[in-house]
Amino acid sequence: MEDLKVVFAGNLINLRTGAGMTQAELAEKINYSDKSISKWERAEALPDVTVVKTMAELFGVSVDYMLVSHEAWEGPADSEPKERKFSPSMIAIVAVLGIWTLALLVFVVFWLIGYIVPIIFLAAVPATLITILVLNSIWNTDKRANMLIIMGLILSIFVLIYFIFIKTNPWQLVLVLIPAELITYFSFRIRKGFRLFKKKERSEQ
């Protein structure tokens, strides 16, 4: 049984790191704790067959693949994704500065030909939020931050529409803005609610 634990541990580490997942991210996807993932990857325990099947489907392999040795197990020391050689925050700052520099350039060009168009800077706000959202999603950081970014993006688009097309009574837009923000908020709560439901089911079994 010990050999099977080692085989499974090695396969799990390779599949998880190959998918670019951390232990916490895998735990979230299968509704288990990251401590359980760590135990399995240290070959200290084996999950039950339903969990093995769930992970096999997640990684797109068969259950047999996860239980048969493919290469030597090297332990969990190298199981986490390699440390990035670049700074995500610096990349985000450079990208945002680039957007606002471009907005400033366009503003100055219009200024030189005799037009003052400050709304250009207002348009730079949703462009900035979209860029931050994409970068945050790529690096799989705080999901709550994604929710706040999207809610801010929706608000900035509505403000932009108001200043470009309406400029009078904003209440009609507010009537659409409120449910749009609520939909965004509850969309990010769906998975959490589902996890709580699954955990409640397990406790009742």
Q: Which of 40, 56, 76 is the last residue of a domain?
A: 76
185 and 129 housed in the same domain: yes
- For residue range 8-47, list pLDDT tens digits in order: 888 889 888 888 889 888 988 898 888 889 888 888 888 9
- For residue range 174-201, list pLDDT tens digits in order: 888 888 888 888 887 775 554 544 444 4
- Report the alpha-carbon distance of residue 38 to residue 77 in Å, rounded: 11
- Report the alpha-carbon distance of residue 167 to residue 163 in Å, rounded: 5
97 and 49 housed in the same domain: no
% of residues, the chain, pLDDT over 90 = 20
* Cβ–Cβ under 8 Å, residues 119 and 94: no
Residue 126 belongs to what domain range? Answer: 88-195
**What's phi and psi for 38, nearest 5 deg?**
-60, -40
- Report the alpha-carbon distance of residue 54 to residue 62 in Å, rounded: 10
47 and 107 housed in the same domain: no
Q: Which of 44, 76, 108 is the last residue of a domain?
A: 76
- For residue range 66-124, list pLDDT tens digits in order: 888 876 444 444 444 455 566 778 888 999 999 999 999 999 999 999 999 889 999 99
* Cβ–Cβ under 8 Å, residues 31 and 203: no
- Report the alpha-carbon distance of residue 125 to residue 18 in Å, rounded: 36
183 and 96 housed in the same domain: yes
Indicate whether this model's pTM tops 0.75.
Answer: no
128 and 163 housed in the same domain: yes
